[in-house]
A and B are shown apart, each in its own frame.
Chain A
Amino acid sequence: MPRRIRTATHAAVAAVVSGLVLALLALGIGPVPALGTALVPGAGVWDSAAGAELPHTETLDLAGLKAPVTVAFDDNGVPTVKAGSDDDLFQAQGYLHARFRLAQLDLERRAGRGRLAELNGPASLESDRFELQMGLLRTAEAEWAATPPDSPAGRALTSYTRGVNAWISELRHNGQWPAIFSLTGVHPADWTPVDSLVIQEVLTQSMDFTSTPLDYAIFRDSLGAQRTMDWFPVHAANDQRPYDPGPYRDLGTAPLPANVNSAGPDVPAAANRSQPRPAPVAPTGAPDPAGEATAARTLLDTIRALPATQMHTFPDSNAWVANGPAVAGGNAMLAGDPHLPTTLPSYWYQIALSSPETNATGASMAGMPGVLIGRNADISWSLTDAQNQSTVFYSERTSPDHPGQYFWNNAWHPMQRVEYTIPVRGGDTEHLAVDLTVHGPVITRAGQTTSVSWMGNVPSPDLAVLLAVDKARNYQEFRTALADWHAPTLNFAYADGGGNIGVVAAGYFPLTKAGDPWFPLPGTGEYDVVGAIPFDATPQAYNPPNHVIATANQRPVSADYPYYIGTSFNAFDNGYRAARIYQFLESHPAMTAADFTTLQNDTTDYLATVILPHLKEALAGTKLDARQQAALDVLDRWDSTMRPSVAGGPIWWTFWNDYLETTFQPWWDQAKVPVEKDRWYLKVSSALPSLDEDLEAWTLHDPANPAFTSPGGPTRTAPDAMRTAFAQAVSELSQDLGSDPATWTWDRVHTRQVPSLTDADALGYGPVPAEGDRWTVNAADGGMNSTFGPSWRMVVDWKGPGSATAQAVYPGGQSENPASPWYRTFIPYWRDGRSLPLLMAADQPASTKVWTLRPGA
């Protein structure tokens, strides 16, 4: 080859290679970001290092403020905001949330808006499709449209939005974006009030959306209807302790407002009150169990793939209150620890707010103005999930002869269609069409066209309620405010300086015209949701004669409550935490805040205290080998606490799960239950509250229940099954933990983890050996590596009107920046069961880090 051609070829190859590499660095490819722009040392991700700096005393200009605002940080980053008006107060709060939680804000709104794939790529497409189908965005838009701009909520959202955007605007100039934005090159758009409401909807979904009707459909298809209802009954088989023991009132049905996520004619008029009753034979709406099961399997595949923060997985939260002789000094005390997925950053951002109108301190939710859980000068409050059934699935009747239509109330009706585009980083933009029926959005057509009626899709003025709660001065104002709270349905625990205590279940408890709403219902009109339980008839308690109230996701009412609110599987807790809390509260007179803290950190497994005597009785006189005897000796010495260094916990836990498996698994195998479709709620395990309740009740009261006898097997009783399970547990633990049962401590099998919201392992905390299980008051749910538990612990001790001491802690830190000293500040306190003072703005000590926010351009 002539030299000239050779050199030209070299040059061409060099040009092509250079061009390709530069294009790769400029644009990225697939999941690989544009590394040139991301890693350039004078800008890019390195600019985010400045965001890790702790604040220092300075004056900042904030456009839109009416008067100067001061923000004083304590050593852990908790700000005290003092403003001359609520407008300025919430603008400053928005600014703070953005300064310290912008990536979290953007991730959460993306999740609700169906825009995660734009940041994360195709892996998030399924989540985006699901959320756009569900309609979180549509509901948020409707809520904002229904919010008068001059109302307290409208003004708060507008001010808050202005604060968030002030920081986004600064970032556009200084480039100090959180690393995730610089790395991906996808930067957040301006904040809007709808974004805050979308975040409210995400939390609502995570607390209130129920997928268990889908599990019920699968069980009915596999186990059969009779066994399904025998083993997953409406009312739990075990004894539970409701916080509202009655007497109850039947006040009829309250109508629901029009729903932006439903189509067609208005919802039918309220017809009845729906104590669950047999479904009438419906000529046009006969159930199709096989089709429903297919739809359920498809939907569960999607739902279980969603991020943990978007879906309800476990019963959430404890709160209890006591007054009079139950507390030292005779006033009132409140303890609250909402259980949520523990993440870094946390759901919560601690803050003290002060203006002439608002004076509150506690946990704010990143993305929303105000304080969600906390106290003001007069009252304190905390939340637990009501766990009622808020979701009803409908199997719509469709026909190839009527494309785009569904049969309802004896006529074919057109579905309404909403269309979306979903940008995908590193992929093609996807187009999505969502069809709406009178019940709600169609969420699958696999097997059966299925739509969902979900109370979270009914606009709920939650922010207006919260702002009123923040300002409430007594129980009457508190309760009056809660009457407008619709979703998620929560138990609001209350204590005030006047020595009063109470719990109010606020939110929609939907009622159907007929049928068993825990299964998917025919969508032909005979089984529609027709209203909700009137607020005055929802579970509530106020100043009870025993001076204590505890809400821990147990069924809040007894079996004679006149309304249907959910089943044992859908999704009330099995009552073990509530039973333990009541046991403690009623055996400790004149309790102090320290007692409440002790109870919040309690690791007693209540079920173990109930079952172990029966196990020992079953084993008495039985020939045990040396290791089994040693394991039994350990149990004899064990105090039923799931503490890390204590032997006994693993034996109990393994035994109980083996006992469940010994009893139920043969039936599951025979019925070929497709357990792989829902890793949490189809598999035989202690995560199915109904099975725990059944087994507990049978062990105590019905040891000859036929369920103990496996299909085709010899007759068996509870003691037989317990002996088998115990031998199996000892054998398994010997393999896993060695031959000496005295060394089988809980910390060898159980850990806690606080994962990063980004799923980056190294940005989380743990796993570390830890205490607790899913039934201990100090709950650790989510498996043997728990990622779910107390997301905020608070105790408020009222001394008199306007006078209280309070403490709180959460597993996280105020800053979302992993390089910040405030990223994990509170985790050591939380892990060790300690708390920090929760102070009102007026009580904050002098700070060395004070921002003065002044009105600026």
Chain B
Amino acid sequence: MSIILVGLNHKTAPVEVRERLAFTDESCAETLQTLVDGELISEGLIVSTCNRVEVLAATRGVSGDEGTARISSFLSETRRVPRQFFGEHLYTHADEEAVRHVFRVASSLDSMVVGEPQVLGQVRRAYSNAVTAGTAGRILHRLVHHALHVAKRVRAETGIAASAVSISFTAVELGRKIFGTLKGTTVLVIGAGEMAELAAQHLAGAGASRILVTNRTTETAEQLAQKIKGTALDFSSLPAHLAEADIVICSTAADEYVVTPEMAREALAARQRRPAFFIDISVPRNVDPAVGELDNLFVFDVDDLEAVVASNIREREREAERAELIVESEVMQFQQALRSLDLGPTVAALRQKLEEIARAELKRQRTRLGELTPEQERAVEALLMSTVNKISHPIISRLRRSHDTGEEEDLKAWRNTFGLEE
């Protein structure tokens, strides 16, 4: 029994190759049944996302090479792509390596953006496709459940997904850092840039309750307001409304400062010096840098936000190192659990144990038998061994049955009865 993983991802293959090999949910179910023949390959699962196509399989007592060859020809046949088209981009992992890879993928350590949360859902979907197709068995059940557990641990115990790695999420995160919660905050959008729209939507999604939109051209403001469920304001009323806004997103094409220190100072006084957060994503800048020097007012321009994103990515990478340690210890645990799943050693150990007992008894009583001819000697030996086999046979078939149906308790009971190691 062994676990094999064959696949390619964003690091090894360009998108032209990945898209040719990608599977839809439906094609997964269909093709999985052709992959899992019950002889060479006993279980199978396909993870197919925009960044990776991977086939995970459990094989029956064959060497890794045979299984790997089988899977890559499976890919070539079902996707109707010649082997040489993707062969050089493939990676293969067997047993411990494969387990590690699956854990790393589920924990988002192998993702393009480390820590991104989607991959976990994609692994879950791959698993449920395999369950539907009936190609997930004892080993893949265990492996996927363990992978989900690892992903959960990594999320809870490291900060790989803790900080934002896009400009609009960084804005949300900074807003939370200043206001605690965004619920009940008012957002004012000045201008109508795409980035401003995106940021406003993220802020609304995070709980901002009121969105005001203003623009030099009233129609544009009204259009955007409609789109993001906000209220359009007349541009001339900007100074008056500045005080209402907890978060101001500035993104106009103006080449002068739209928000001056005087305006900001008045707004702060009017809002009883409650903190305000200005996001200036326009180039050239629309918020006078001097505004940022006021107490309780925090101004971030595009460069500032990008620097935060860059440092968050570095932080994720540092956290990823800690996540690797978690993965490593979980791989060890899984391998140990897997060994106990493998019945072969238990059967061998049981036979050996009984044979040892028989031989020891023979040795103890041998002198009483007196001189024996070599023929008689062999007959005694055969008698003992056939007795051992007759006794162990029903036990072993019972073990096999328990093993196939996954009755762990039963297996454990038999192991304990004969004092066998797991």
Answer whether A and B are interacting partners.
no
A residues within 8 Å of B by Cβ?
A: none
